[in-house]
Amino acid sequence: MKSDRLLNIYTGLFLVFMFGPLILMVISSFNNISPPSVTEWRGFTTKWYSFFWMPQDELRADPVLRVLDRDRLISCFGNSIWVALIVVPLALLLGLSGAVLLTRWRSKANGVLWWVLLSPMLAPGVVLGLGALVFWGQVGINAGLFTIIMAQVTFIASYPMLILMARLQRQPIELEEAALDLGASPFRVFRRLTLPYLAPALVSAGVIAFMASIENYNTTMFAKGGACTLATEIGAMGRNPNGHPPVINAIGTVIITITVAGALLHTFLLSRERKGG
């Protein structure tokens, strides 16, 4: 069938556009040339990876690596992790509150509230970053890790909210009514019924919030002041007019590997849960 072939071609092109750049990035992360290239092969190397732990003298001997500030890159990465570790619980807490409010509170204001709570996700990231910068500046807090966290939470909280809402909407309201009827306080209903029911969705939402925080660039860029995260630092390195060092490709490859592994694990756990339930 002709339409089938068109569809196949479309699918093929789609996959090429999506994965082509990633594949090139992975290949060039093993090529001994800087700036990275796949057209010119200068031999296999893992030094763009071992950059992070190689001894100082070896580092100083390499003409490309010796101009890079390894300690700064590592400390920016540390910042990213710290920020994410604080953003995730905050986003889960806010997202959970929003989800419970929007699914359980029957009010005419619900429609408006839905858009208000969701708008940060739709607003341009630079606006959020700038907003956080200005607001906290007025309060008297200088831009830094704190403003990064505040700016990120404003929109990252929407992801858990959407995920948790989808799950809450599938929980029959009778379950909560039955628990109330049996004498449970609303808090006990939440702890014994709603929370266990939401547990898998909370894990998913946490992972997604974590990723969203780690990879965020535009909002963070505006809110960061003098601080840095991995994303902003990679951005800074990437803006080098002489081309970026392949170390960035190596970081990218590691991130892809972790993401794919995480997705596979998630699928595996999900299928096991389905079989179990």
Partner 1 sequence: MTDLAMRGRDVRLEGVSITYPNGFTAVQPTDLVVEAGEFFSILGPSGCGKTTILRTVSGFVEPTDGRVLIGGEDMKGIGPNARPTALIFQNLALFPLMPVWENVAFGLEARGVGKKARRQRAQELLELVALGDQGDKLPSELSGGQRQRVAIARALAVEPAVLLLDEPLSALDLKLRQHMRAELREIQKKTGVTFIYITHDQGEALTMSDRIAVMNNGVIEQVGTGDEIYSAPESAFAASFVGEVNALPGHVVATDGAMARIETASGQLVGRNPKSLEPGAQAILFVRPEQMVFGDPGNVFTADLKRRDLEGAFVTYEFLTPTGQSLTLHQTNTGTLAPMAQEARIGFAAQSAVILPEGPLARTGRELAAQ
Instruction: List interacting residues with partner 1 (CB under 8 A).
Output: 172, 174-175, 177-185, 188, 192-193, 196-197, 277
Pick the closer one to partner 1 by CB: 128 or 202.
202
- Among 182, 183, 205, smallest CA distance to 95 is for 205
Instruction: Please confirm whether the linkage preceding 200 is cis (ω < 30° from 0).
Output: no
- Among 176, 156, 158, smallest CA distance to 166 is for 158
Pick the closer one to partner 1 by CB: 58 or 177.
177
Pick the closer one to partner 1 by CB: 11 or 107.
107
Partners of 31 in the β-ladder:
44
Longest CA–CA span in the chain (Å) reads: 74
Detail the DSSP E strand segments found in 71-135: none
- Residue entry with tokens 């906290």: 136
Pick the closer one to partner 1 by CB: 139 or 182.
182
Tokens representing 133?
A: 């910068």
Taking the complex as a whole, the smallest distance from the CB of residue 179 to partner 1 amounts, in Å, to: 7
Stated length of the chain = 277
Distance between CA 198 and CA 160 in Å, rounded? 11
Contact 27, 252 (CB under 8 A): no
Pick the closer one to partner 1 by CB: 163 or 189.
189
Distance between CA 33 and CA 48 in Å, rounded? 10
- Residue entry with tokens 């710290």: 82
- Residue entry with tokens 């974590």: 210
Pick the closer one to partner 1 by CB: 24 or 100.
100
Taking the complex as a whole, the smallest distance from the CB of residue 169 to partner 1 amounts, in Å, to: 16
Distance between CA 81 and CA 194 in Å, rounded? 29
Pick the closer one to partner 1 by CB: 66 or 170.
170
Q: Measured between alpha carbons, how far is residue 119 from residues 69, 115, 116 in Å? A: 38, 6, 5
